Each structure stands twice: as structure tokens, then as C-alpha cells.
A = this chain, B = another copy of it.
Amino acid sequence: MRRAVEALDLPVWDCVSGLSRGPGHRNVMAHIDSEVKEECLREDLKFYFMNPCEKYRARHQIPWKLGLQILKILMVTTQLVRFGLSNQLVVAFKEDSTVAFKHLFLKGYSGIDEDDYSCSVYTQEDTYESIFFAINQYHHLKNITLGTVAYGENEDNRNGLKVCKQHYKKGTMLPSNETLNIDSDVETECIHLSLQVLSKNPQDWKNSSFFCLEFYRLLQIEISFQLKGIDLQTIRSRELPDCYVFQNRITYDNKAHSGKIKIYFDSDANIEECKVLNISGSIQKNTQYVLVFDAFVIVICLASLILCTRSIILALRLRKRFLNFFLEKYKRHVCDADQWKFINGWYVLVIISDLMTIIGSILKMEIKAKNLTNYDLCSILLGTSTLFVWVGVIRYLGYFQTYNVLILTMQASLPKVLRFCACAGMIYLGYTFCGWIVLGPYHDKDIERTSGY
């Protein structure tokens, strides 16, 4: 143990070693009171830089903080896993719904998106068919869909579809004598197809002038409609099903005018309050247990937070005592590096992690109670705090002699590694820019062929 303490002494006394070590420098005329004070400070400093095991052996102090941290790891990880699993259900429902909508509304959808768009058409006939197919499927949705969806209302409280087309304002193209007159201003024209309109003879709306497209000046067509759905599978795992509003938008993108219209399908799924929903039957009331567990996590984190804050405050006081003593005795300031050694970085990490866990847990309880739907922020808070808690475990490994060597080696080699990365990064950046501009766009296909297959 002695060796360990001396090893700790060395870094601390870097710049004052000449003074504190050599007894010949001491003032022989100093009061005994001062010597007692110095001895006391020396003891306190030694104790401060001990690790829990040594503290226990030295003053039989039980390592509460250590125990609390271990308990916290278990609790926080359990909470995270439970939250992650429940999140996955929500996300899977959204994605499955989007896939199902694509199969329902996109004609000839293969099941896999082509690139960032879902599918593409190359002829005028295919474009018309694809548009009319989507509208028709919407009309007969009730008899086709397998999901629990129903028609929703647009922003102007009307049911039905809204079809919008963007095109250049006016223009004529006479291919015979190679003339193109175009007005570069963009115009948007919309049509609203309510369910009443769709129920009539389809030839009526299909033959409207709106659907007579002039492709050479067409920029894009957008079909948007709202659907409402219910995620019933939460009945068994949680108490109340979530209601969703799907804001779907099919976009036929002809902005490139390259002869290929890309079809995008976007589905924004928002969780909304369910209006009329009667669930009968025997639902297990397991909500309170979850809330109790979350509350327990908060209590533990609060305890850990208080203990760590107390440690830091004590450390700052000790630093003040040490600085005063040093100034008094040697008439010199302690160098900055030694001052910073009093602030334990691990405690700061624990405090940040605790704060994040507490806020995250409160958010989680609010989500559970259907007051909030802010899944993303909650995920980031809980996830980051768990990362910090696990990284904090390394600190305890540092207490063992052999691990300590490992960690110190890594600390020492880090700047060299970073320096090398900076050098390599410069060359890489230059190479990337050069490669992108010289090889990139012109040989896309060749590169794909060599690497892609």
C-alpha cells in the first residue's frame, strides 16, 4: 500500500517536490502549531488521493459511493433495455405501416426502394396509370387494407385526396422547328378529390383538364391524404393503444426532366390522442410497477448526485486549505496542473450522467402517462447517461495496479495517435476532394461495377 500512496504522491507534488521532500529546506523556527497543521493537511491529502480499498483499510470507511454506483449500473441498464424494447414496437409499427402503404398505393412496387425514391416510371402511360391507381386504391381502401386504418381529414377539415401539380408558368414546345418557349416562374395548381367525387363515374374526374399533363413543363405532382390508424398490439404490453395520424404524400418528381419520373412515398406518423376508444376485457394493470421502478431509479441517481457533489465541495475546500498553507509557508503559488488534480474528472462525469438519467426518467414517466410523445429526446438522455455510467466502470479498473498501467499507457500515447491522425487527415481530405471531382461523377458507373457486384 505504501508504494501506491507514493505513486500518488509523485504526480501531485510535481512542481513542489523540491520543497516538500527535502527536510533541509524546512524552517526550523516554525511554531509547533504550524507543524501540527501541516501534518494534519498532509494526512488529509494522502487520504483524499486514496482509492476506496485503501480508504477502507486506512479509516475503515465503508465505500458507499462505490456500492451506489454498482447498483446504479444495474438499475439504469435495466431501465434502458425496457425502454428500448417498448420503443422498438412503436418504430416497427410505423415502418410496417409505411411498407404496407407503399404496397397499397404504388403500382408495381417491388418491395424494395430503388434508391432514395420508391420506384420510377419512364412513359407517359405508366405515369397516368400510376396516379390513377393510387387514387383508386384510396377510394376502395376499406375493402382492401388489412390494417385498422380509416380516412382522416385534411388541414382544411375535408376528407379525400389533394392532388397538386407544379409546372413552369406557360410554355410551348415545337419539336419540329426546335423551339422552346418557357416562363421560368413556377405555378402550383391543386385539385381536391373528396370521397363523394370519387364515388361517381371515374371517367368524370379522370378526364378533367387537371389530369391532362404537359410533361415538358411539369415539375412535380403531389398526392397527399391523411389516414388514421390504431396500434392495437400495445393492448397486451401496455395499457392503452396509441392512435396514429398518417400524413401520406406521394410525389412524382420530374424536376430533372431526364425522362425518368421518380416516385417518392413519405408517411409521417404522429401519435395523437384517441378520441372514442372503448377497451373492455381484462387488461393487466402493470403500469404502477413501472412507475415505481422509474421513481426508484430517480432516487438512486439523486443520492449519487448528492454524494458526488459533496465530494467535489470537500475537494475544493481541501484545495483552498492547501493553497493557503502553501502560500503561507513557501510564499509561492501552486502551479495550475497541481490545482486541477483536486477536481476528480470521474465525479464530474457521474454528476452529468446522474442529471441526464433524472431528466430522462421524468420524461419517460410523462410519456408513459401519455402526456408527452417526445421519444427522441428521452432516448438520447437515457442512452448517453448509460454510456457514461458504463464508461465510468473503467475508473474502478484503474484501482488495480495492472489496469492502471494500461490506462496510463493509453493516456500517454493518445496525443501521438491524434497527431498522426491529423497528418493523415490532411492528405485524406485533399485526396477526397481530388478524387470526388476528378473520378467521382464521370465514372460512377464503372466504380459501381467494380465494387458493387
Contacts and interface: CB of A to CB of B under 8 A. Distances in A.
Interface residues of A, number: 123
Given A144-B124, A258-B97, A84 B441 contact: yes
B384 A434 contact: yes
Given A146-B260, A390-B426, 4 more contacts: A145-B259, A147-B259, A178-B228, A387-B431
Given A104-B123, A277-B180, A441-B91, A406 B380 contact: no
A154 interface: no
A422 interface: yes
A236 interface: yes
A101 B173 CA distance: 20
Nearest to A378: B437
B441 A257 contact: no
Nearest to A215: B146
Contacts of A403: 419, 423
A15 interface: no
Interface in A378-427: 379-380, 382-384, 386-391, 393-394, 397, 402-403, 406-407, 416, 419-420, 422-423, 426-427
User: How many copies of the chain does the oligomer comprise?
Assistant: 4
Interface in A303-346: none
A434 B236 contact: no
Nearest to A185: B281
B376 A397 contact: no
Contact of A147 (B80, B185, B257): B257
A420 B397 CA distance: 11
A150 interface: yes
Contacts of A101: 259
A352 interface: no
Contacts of A429: 390
